[in-house]
Amino acid sequence: MPLTVLTQKSLSLFTAVGGWRTVAEAVVSKTVFLIAHLLTGQVPLSATVAVGAVVVFAIVRTCTDRKYWQAAGGLVIVAVAASLASSSGEAVDFYLVSVLVSVGAGAVFLVSLLVRWPIIGVVVGGMRGERSGWRRDRARLRRYQACTAVFLVKFSLSTMVMVPLYLAGQVTALGIASTLLGTPATGLCAYVCWRILRTEADSTGSDPAITAPSHG
């Protein structure tokens, strides 16, 4: 039963942030821009096509799910990327947002580990309503640190791959790397973290993501 609840909770959280449509938007926008640029060589046109593709997703999402903030969020991110590329005339700038996110997130996750306030613990602990109580549980703290380390590896790898490609102006390679090391890699990390946290549910018979801590 606890594993079933954990699975349902994970799926509910995945749905809350947009589900597969959010994944599709992230992948499609980068892929469409790259293909359009390879075919036309025109940065503004390619950026416009990428934004147009996400607009279609946003309209469909708004009409079917009425989830305006999810639709707007994806559109804003792509619009910023398109604006950067169009204003500079450099295709690699379409992926600058992804590069900066990897660098910034990697730094935040690293610092959180060093100060023993792992980001995953802060997020999951907040979901459980236990505030900082999880830090007094060594086993749970280790699991949260392990989960945070998983994402740190992902962001570090993304940074090491994408920064040199961006600086070298390698549009095709950067586009492929940004696509694969973005949402798909994040999904894989989330699954690995789910497996790590599930071991706590197996051993304690409780759901580490939703069971509130006891008091008194």
pLDDT tens for 179-205 read 999 888 988 898 898 888 886 655 555
pLDDT (tens digit per residue) in 132-145: 788 888 888 999 99
List per-block mean pLDDT (blocks of 10 residues) for the chain, which spans 216 residues.
Answer: 42 47 74 94 95 84 68 81 95 96 96 94 80 85 94 97 97 95 87 83 48 38
pLDDT value of position 173: 97
- Flag whether 210 is in a domain: no
- Flag whether 135 is in a domain: yes
- Flag whether 212 is in a domain: no
pLDDT value of position 13: 45
- Flag whether 113 is in a domain: yes
pLDDT value of position 58: 77
State pTM to two decimals. 0.79
Domain that holds residue 180: 2-204
pLDDT value of position 194: 86
* Domain count for the chain: 1
pLDDT value of position 212: 36
> What single string gives the DSSP state of each residue in the chain?
-HHHHHHHHHHHHHHHTTHHHHHHHHHHHHHHHHHHHHHH--HHHHHHHHHHHHHHHHHHHHHHH--HHHHHHHHHHHHHHHHHHHHH--GGGGGHHHHHHHHHHHHHHHHHHHTT--HHHHHHHHHHT-TTGGGG-HHHHHHHHHHHHHHHHHHHHHHHHHHHHHHHT-HHHHHHHHHHTTHHHHHHHHHHHHHHHHHHHHHHSS-TTTPPPP--
pLDDT value of position 8: 46
- Flag whether 216 is in a domain: no
pLDDT value of position 109: 97
- Flag whether 214 is in a domain: no
pLDDT value of position 154: 96
- Flag whether 209 is in a domain: no
